[in-house]
Structure 1
Amino acid sequence: MNNIPPQGVMFPMGSLYVGDLHQDVTEGMLYEKFSTAGQVLSLRICRDARTKQSLGYGYVNFNSPEDAERALDTMNFDPLKGKPIRIMWCQRDPSLRKSGIGNVFIKNLDKNIDNKAMYDTFSAFGNILSCKVALDEAGYSKGYGFVHFESEEIANRAIEKVNGMLLNEKTVYVGKFVPRIEREKALGEKAKQFTNIYVKNFGQLMSDEQFFEIFSKFGKVTSSMVARHPDKSSKGFGFVAYEDPKAAEKAVQEMNGSEFEGRTLYVGRAQKKAERMNELRKKYEQQRMERFSKFQGVNVYIKNLDDSFTDERLKSEFECFGNITSAKVMTENGRSRGFGFVCFSAPDEANKAIHEMNGKIVGSKPLYVALAQRKEARRALLTSQYVARAQAARQQGLQFAGGPPFLIPAVAQTPRIYGPTPALRPAPRWPALQTMPRPNGAFGLPLLGTAYRAPARPAPIRQHARPITGVSGPTARPNSKYTTRHGPDSPMPDSRMVHAAPQEQKQLLGEQLFRIVEKLHPEMAGKITGMLLEIDNSELLHMIKNQESLRAKVEEAIAVLEAHKANKKGMVIQD
């Protein structure tokens, strides 16, 4: 069958959509697969902006539509990493996808019918733009699917021929796809009517006959069922289907909340699992918003907590500032996650606690204390801060590679250079600023003289190949905890930090941070290090010693960078 993109339908020439990809499929695997069909111009797998995990789909662009057609004809539903891939023409126009023109809905499908089987069945009627069987969370068919043809004429022909036919010994329904909103609008008040009800909390002793007798008095019952365990005992819930919607509504009104053998019954409209989950999600979100509004201004967020903190200790540290209604250290598998919340009874008490406790060292760590914020508000605040810094950098004539104006260590220079960002000062303290070109053509750090150059490290003391004759006693082991030598990633001695000038301290900390962050995120180590160098030296020193605290701060920096990229689409971003 000729699968060249049809006339009148807007497709990028030679562009294919590839879906149902295994999580482990990489761009290299896609290139190796599709390059056999023709010259591949470009391809990409769409990934989550934060986690970089595959979203399960991507795009392949060929040099010509003929190559794309060959790939579509020969590779559709081929297994890749053990999972069949689904290929279709790349359809960029959302109005065409959502219009419903040529879109067909199929239900009552056999569970064994997959995407390929349905594609083979309906491709006899004309060109298919997309074809998909709906799957549940476990990957099994839900019994319905969709086929999008290139024209309404082909769709009508498929409906006429296949509707009512047997597919795998099941009579299928095939009809024009109608969005739910339009269906409800067409039905009007009938869409709100229901005939099936759900009953729960009646215990394990309910018999089918007793269940039917209780609910048959409200109207004609077409079917009733009590859910049971394998040993035939009741699960405590069941379903009743009425012929008349008014009977179902009356049963709900009279039986919901009524007493049965010492139990309070719940009786309501029967809902599908997806509908019920969506309703619970909205209810939870509403409750969360109500809680946040209720405690806004009095709920305090504390992070950088020592591992020894418990709810009682957290409360005792803050109860001197006012009446505490709750104090909670957040845990995971019984271990502290390093942060918690304290809720006061009045806003002035919370403000006093923030003023007195923020930055105070409790245990072995300086605390961070601030009013609790929702994740969305926190992300918006961080984004606005970085946008403001970017504007300040442009005003001072600094050039930076599409990201927030943080200092980025030059890749090609030795030794590396660190320092606080000049964009935060009203004027540079050094008149002469030079820039070091980076390999990708962008500009890196301003070089602020020699004050920020890492001092040359002394040459290591050479050890004798053999023990000196006549000297007794054990020799020092290189990895002994009593040795005083420090590797490149080991925390620097506190005495060295104490006797160093502030700028030298910042430089020493920068060297340590860059080496550690480079192992976690090598492609973003420069930007992240520059961001971390804005933090106070004492907290930086603690972060170097406490890897969990540093890792949390690095993840926060990555989230900010991603938010910046998403909100500054007009800027050219280079990592």
Structure 2
Amino acid sequence: MGRGRGGFRDEGRRMGFRRSRGDYGPVLARELDSTYDEKVNRNYANSIFVGNLTYDCTPEDLRDHFSEVGEVVRADIITSRGHHRGMGTVEFTNSDDVDEAIRRFDGSYLMDRQVFVRQDNPPPESARERPPTRDRKERKPAGQYGQSQYPTYEVFVANLPYSINWQALKDMFKECGNVIRADVELDRNGYSRGFGTAIFGTPEEMQAAIERYNGFELEGRVLDVREGRNAPGPEPVAPAPEPEAPEAPEAPQTKVLTEGVVGGGERNNMIYCSNLPFSTATSDLYDLFETIGKVNNAELKYDAHGQPIGVAVIEYANIEDADVCIERLNSYNYGGCDLDISYAKHE
């Protein structure tokens, strides 16, 4: 007999759960719950995140279900202070099984509940320094990239979404030609300053990139793409003038979505999340909150000095996903911090 959708039946008690009042899920029996260190010290490249689980789903249920794809190294239920959060992770022996698990099981039913399956991503660490980023690289003058002494052609990109890193920027411009190198400028704290550059080998590729992406809307921001300072002109005798300072701020600032927004609002499709780890990036917001549903926009909030304050505003495509987000992720332990999530409102 199938288990009830989101219910808590005698079968759940036999499997090691006990009900606790005042929380969103039952307490998972200690023998079924792994330690925090055991959960986070896994190979994320070989792991999947599974959301919208019933509260009576156990690690063994996850292991049995996803063993159809390949060998499972470990399976865990995500908990907060011992309480089942309706989420889990499964680690395989290789990344190919991850792709296959997402293809086969995203949107499928597990124990009478439709689940979503995503690539697993490590949470930002609040207790120790974020791993070194590869976004900032040593700048070299035109014609000095790699071993080539041929001219190179640079495009400057302003008004980039803060979630875009150097790899995403390089991938974006690949359709315009061979991208020799891409950079996103970071502040001293490792956060994107909202602008970057891409280097091409020919002027035709540079012009194609400008024509393709100048004025292009990306994550709600309109890109400003033009020739960079290292793009050789038709008369290279005189150096090209420095471009004007980009419109992007020198440090991350509170933006339109977050401006004047607080928590504790009436039911709507925007949520207010506080107590985030200060190392959280915008891309982390999309990774976390799109496990619930489509996110139209997500922005971190910063103080007057451009420093993170552990607050974000997330706009879902529909109000039902905001409901589920509050139900599932409020008090969820993320990067060592218990999130505080409510509906957003303007002061």
Larger relative contact order, structure 1 or 2 (CA cutoff 8 Å, min sep 6): 2
> Do these two structures clear the TM 0.5 threshold for a shared fold by scoring above it?
no
Higher helix residue share: 1
Per the normalisation by structure 1, the TM-score is 0.22
Higher strand residue share: 2
